[in-house]
Structure 1
Amino acid sequence: MSIAPRPMSLRFDGAAATAQRHLGQLRPSFQRSVERLSSGLRINSARDDAAGLFLSQRLQAQTRGAQQAVRNVQDGISYLQVADGGLTTQAEMLGRMRELAVQAANGIYSATERQAMQGELDKLVEEIDSVALSTKFNGRQVLQDLGTLTNEQLVVEGLRRSWLESSEEMIEKHFGLTADGAPLTIILDAPGPVGVAAYVQGAAGADGRSYNQELHVNMSAFTNFSMPNASAAPFHLDRVIAHEMTHAVMGRTMNMAALPQWFVEGTAELIRGADERVLADTLGQNAAATAGLVAGPWDSAWGGTSPDYSMGYAATKYLHGKLEVAEKTMIDLMDQLEGGATLDAALTATIGMTEAAFVADFKANGTAFIQGMNLADADVGSIAGGNARTVVQDQDVVTLDPLRGFTEIWPSGTPATAVALQAGANNSSFDRVDFAGLKMDAATIGATELDLVEDAGGAIDRIDRSLKSVLSARAYIGAIMNRLEFATRSLSVSAENSKAADSRIRDADTAAEMTELLRSQMRTQSAMNALSSTQTQRSSVLSLLQFA
């Protein structure tokens, strides 16, 4: 294809215009290459690659978030290390306290010498409190920190700390019963039934067992209380939970629908202890009042009144004594019921009496039995032993799954946590590590009321439980620290990969850009040479005008 020749013109130089146009087109390419080489980035503005810039900015935000999450996790590990240091000190002091208790239990020491041991122990108890108060991270007390909880969260905190687990342990130890992993839905009623602090309900199956059980907690009863026992002595609400958990476990292990109500409620009261109830209902063990209650009709027409509960408890306690005489235990009786026996058959197999014969025996001897009970002392009469505060053992570690025999279904908004660690770059439950606060003063872990002079053996038991609480707390902290260390590794890898991906998208290829720059320089030089040559044509036109 031939190009038509252009006339020689004074007003328009086509060749120069073409050269200038190509030179102008080469300038942006040259400037872009210079910009990329000087910045090291392929994408310096949205016009370079709009989609790539969007993705790059997202990756940069993700990288920075992951890097901050790593710093967050490291702060969390530091917080836990401070807590672990305080707990280590407390464990060492409890070890010394146990050493003193064992020494005081030796019969060769006089009361004066035991009192000297008591003096050292009391100072160690004070120091346990001091450590709990003085162990701080960034001004925050890490061993006196339950966080700010709503009343509902505080109840769930109690359930997760000790109320459920300790109740289950009592039932297993003294009744030999453990549920089968069935669901247990915890429901916080606000308000609940008047006069009922808590209750368990479920649907009776064809086998008499209870299905789809629910533990209802009446929030009207659980108000203005303190951990770990809740409410005021002797009506600590953790004892109420122990009563209801007995129903829940028996409901999953036997035909509870076939059992008489006095036995169902009596066994639950035997777990929690009900001496104070019997003392009140019998008007201080008054003979006439007691005889009137023993006569019934608690056994045949259960009305759910406090005297009914008192008689169910007293009859079950009387049965416990009968079992001991027969060299049997409540576990032997429960084994019969768990195996499918009726109460009548179970009683016959263990104490040699039918249910009717046992009830008649209690009605004949119950008044004397109740009057012979020591109802005025601190012991509440539980089969597990202990006073109102200690019968349900306190623990200071929140367990997300405290029951071995049930699968708990918790209400929404729980659990409450004292520390919510942002351990990820996003806003999801997988990016947070929540851990409960720890309250590790002497009263909470049960390291008080230790008497080396009169009850050194009891002091050993209480110190062992306190030591268990501290060591469990250390184990809990250690588990979280291990998780956080792995989280740090994962976040570091995530940040590294995000930076690599961003680099592949946004960084300039130096070799390619250098090649492009040289190409642009060569083309620019060529265009400038062409533009310079157009000056020759202009000179020719001017020469013609000179000869005119």
Structure 2
Amino acid sequence: MALRINYNQASLSAQRSLGSTQGQFASAIERLSSGLRINRASDDSAGLAVSEKLKNQIRGLNQAQRNAQDAVSLLQTAEGALNETHSLLARMRELAVQSANDTLSNNDRAHLQNEVNQLVSEIDRIAASTQYNKIALLNKDSAVTLHNSGDALQFHIGANTNLVSGAASTSSGDNALQFSIGAARSQDLGDVKLLSELGVTGSIEKTFTVGGSTIKYNPSVDTVFDVRDAINDESFTSGVTASVTGGQLVLASNAAFTITGDTGNLVSALGLPASGAPGSISGSSTVADVTGSTGSFYIDDNIGMPATVNYSGTMTLDALASAMQAALNATTETMATVTVVGGAFQFQNVLSNNVILDPATPTEFGITSPLSMGTTTASTMVTIRNTASSSTLTGVTSISSSTDGTLDVASQTSANASISLLDAAIEDVSTSRGQIGSMQNRLESVINSLGVASENTAAANSRIRDADVAQAVSEMTRTQILQQATMAVLAQANQSPQSVLQL
């Protein structure tokens, strides 16, 4: 064969083999040191793409599992509060049964009523203060959160988006659960129906306008009491207040007002008129129906000491007449009388022209001072109180809507009625707790299934991305031996051109 000095093919071949072997050895070392078969895209581009998707899926499943655990914690918080509400209702029912027994006097029942009032207030306090991460759980009327009781909470328990392509909302997929916790204020418990049960249709938010203010309602979660509260929240703007009295939703204002623009059918379903109608004055009307004033004046006969008369908005006109009668009796005008007749104060048997009312009473009372002798009839009082009342409704009796806004056990008859009302309230809380318990059990199953899914997905990712240590060690040993052999051969190849010197 030919002898050459400038070109050593054997050496170059050995160098090429050595470079390749060193690359394979470095790859084996990298896999052993990282534990991964795929360290860069060049190792397995398709495998890397699949592995990255699986890795993100694993992290999503793990977070979804934590989401479900947080949801369980939220439900446990709500259920714990309802447990105490159950205890309070049981005590109230016990007091109602006790009050229904005729071995008690009315004074004894008054003491029971005091305790019942405190327990009702405690139920409202629990509902207002029960929160999870500043999310109100049992109180619809809360300023601490965007979520209120009755709103659907969405528990995201999947690794992927819950929005299905083409769907209208995020509640359409399989990666989330929606759950509503019923409100547990005293006004929500008892014989209380949702608006949808009163003939108001729809399951989304609707609106109507009262006195220029927009009132929102959702027939599927709100009650008449919620509509009342919504109207009262806007009373500063609209001038219209609302109450639930005698099974009716009553709207009232000192000025004329209209009820318009209902995007649902609440106004027609509840039988509300299109506008408020002026009321008429009688002795049972209140001072607030005539004037917004609260104050006092005195009656003076210019002989003895003047007698003071105090009045407030909640006082009836008959009660104000009685207060003026007591003041007259404290003067020399003991024969004089004062009553409400035909919507006006009427003074009779006044013995002198010296009886004055000072300072002057509100002009709405229509009384001229001093009084005339004999019989004096004041100007007829005209109410500026406009009211609009719904039809008489069913399902608007809560444990806070009875006498004086509380459950009434002050008499045997009312105590017997309260027992039935409390049974309904207890059933309401039992239903809420049952729903919470069912969802909690479902979430426990979700947590288990997510754990299994995460485990299997992690195993699949490991099979694609993780290194086979035994194979990597064998590869490292092979390439290590090859390197040593190649180095020896390369040394021989580098010496072969020296043979020309023998020529």
TM-score norm. by structure 2 comes to 0.54
From 38, 51, 58, the equivalent of 1:56 is: 51
C-alpha distance in structure 2 between counterparts of 1:54 and 1:95, whole Å: 61
Aligned match of 2:460: 501
Aligned match of 2:3: 7
Are 2:113 and 2:408, in contact at CA under 8 Å, matched by a contact in 1?
Answer: yes
C-alpha distance in structure 1 between counterparts of 2:419 and 2:233, whole Å: 26
Aligned match of 1:45: 40
C-alpha distance in structure 1 between counterparts of 2:130 and 2:83, whole Å: 11
User: What pairs up with 1:14-413 in 2 under 5 angstroms?
Assistant: 14-138=9-133, 141-144=136-139, 148=145, 166=194, 188=206, 224=231, 232-234=242-244, 236=249, 382=392, 384=394, 391-392=395-396
Q: What is the Cα deviation at residue 98 of structure 1?
A: 0.3
Distance 1:445 1:137, change over 3 A: farther
Are 2:31 and 2:39, in contact at CA under 8 Å, matched by a contact in 1?
Answer: yes
Are 1:125 and 1:448, in contact at CA under 8 Å, matched by a contact in 2?
Answer: no
1:449 aligned to 2:445? no
Cα deviations by residue, 1:178-219 (Å, 9 ceiling, x for unpaired): xxxxx9686846889x99999xxxxxxxxxxxxxxxxxxxxx
Cα deviations by residue, 1:371-399 (Å, 9 ceiling, x for unpaired): xxxxxxxx987374xxxxxx4356xxxxx
Q: What is the Cα deviation at residue 281 of structure 1?
A: 9.0
3-state SS of 2:43 partner: coil
Q: What is the Cα deviation at residue 48 of structure 1?
A: 0.7
Higher strand proportion (structure 1 or 2): 2
1:519 aligned to 2:478? yes
Are 1:222 and 1:231, in contact at CA under 8 Å, matched by a contact in 2?
Answer: no
C-alpha distance in structure 2 between counterparts of 1:17 and 1:195, whole Å: 92
Deviates more, 1:62-71 or 1:526-535: 526-535
C-alpha distance in structure 2 between counterparts of 1:516 and 1:195, whole Å: 80
Q: What is the Cα deviation at residue 283 of structure 1?
A: 6.5
Q: What is the Cα deviation at residue 36 of structure 1?
A: 0.9
Query: How many residues matched?
Result: 330
Cα deviations by residue, 1:210-253 (Å, 9 ceiling, x for unpaired): xxxxxxxxxx99965569xx971257399x99x958999xxxxx
Q: Give the aligned residue type for 2:15.
A: Q
Aligned match of 2:170: none
Are 1:86 and 1:131, in contact at CA under 8 Å, matched by a contact in 2?
Answer: yes
Are 1:33 and 1:514, in contact at CA under 8 Å, matched by a contact in 2?
Answer: yes
3-state SS of 2:36 partner: coil
Q: Give the aligned residue type for 1:486.
A: S
Aligned match of 2:469: 510
C-alpha distance in structure 2 between counterparts of 1:446 and 1:37, whole Å: 81
C-alpha distance in structure 1 between counterparts of 2:491 and 2:128, whole Å: 87
3-state SS of 2:39 partner: coil
Aligned match of 2:428: 469
Q: Give the aligned residue type for 2:42.
A: R
Distance 1:539 1:16, change over 3 A: same
Q: What is the Cα deviation at residue 142 of structure 1?
A: 3.7
Q: Indicate the structure (1 or 2) with the bigger Cα radius of gyration.
A: 2
Greater RCO (Cα-Cα under 8 Å, separation 6 or more): 1
Q: What is the Cα deviation at residue 23 of structure 1?
A: 0.6
Higher helix proportion (structure 1 or 2): 1
Q: Give the aligned residue type for 2:460.
A: A
Distance 1:282 1:80, change over 3 A: closer
Cα deviations by residue, 1:384-437 (Å, 9 ceiling, x for unpaired): 4xxxxxx4356xxxxxxxxxxxxxxxxxxxxxxxxxxxxxxxxxxxxxxxxxxx
Q: What is the Cα deviation at residue 141 of structure 1?
A: 4.8
Q: What is the Cα deviation at residue 6 of structure 1?
A: 4.0
Are 2:208 and 2:214, in contact at CA under 8 Å, matched by a contact in 1?
Answer: no
Aligned match of 2:448: 489
Q: What is the Cα deviation at residue 66 of structure 1?
A: 1.3
C-alpha distance in structure 1 between counterparts of 2:26 and 2:451, whole Å: 37
3-state SS of 1:232 partner: strand
Are 2:135 and 2:146, in contact at CA under 8 Å, matched by a contact in 1?
Answer: no
Long gaps (5+) in structure 2: 152-178, 217-226, 235-239, 252-258, 283-388
Are 1:91 and 1:470, in contact at CA under 8 Å, matched by a contact in 2?
Answer: yes
3-state SS of 1:236 partner: strand
Q: What is the Cα deviation at residue 128 of structure 1?
A: 2.4
Distance 1:222 1:81, change over 3 A: closer
Q: Give the aligned residue type for 1:451.
A: D
C-alpha distance in structure 2 between counterparts of 1:382 and 1:237, whole Å: 10
Q: What is the Cα deviation at residue 29 of structure 1?
A: 0.9
Q: What is the Cα deviation at residue 82 of structure 1?
A: 1.6
Aligned match of 1:352: none
Long gaps (5+) in structure 1: 172-182, 199-219, 249-267, 286-378, 385-390, 395-441
Aligned match of 2:370: none
3-state SS of 1:468 partner: helix
Q: What is the Cα deviation at residue 117 of structure 1?
A: 1.8
TM-score norm. by structure 1 comes to 0.50
Cα deviations by residue, 1:61-99 (Å, 9 ceiling, x for unpaired): 111121122112212211211211111011011101101
Aligned match of 1:534: 493
Q: Give the aligned residue type for 1:96.
A: R
Aligned match of 1:426: none
Distance 1:164 1:84, change over 3 A: closer
Distance 1:45 1:167, change over 3 A: closer
Distance 1:76 1:225, change over 3 A: farther
C-alpha distance in structure 2 between counterparts of 1:106 and 1:149, whole Å: 47
Aligned match of 2:418: 459
Query: Percent sequence identity over matched residues?
Result: 34
Are 1:167 and 1:392, in contact at CA under 8 Å, matched by a contact in 2?
Answer: no
Deviates more, 1:467-476 or 1:64-73: 467-476
Q: Give the aligned residue type for 1:236.
A: L
Q: What is the Cα deviation at residue 41 of structure 1?
A: 0.8
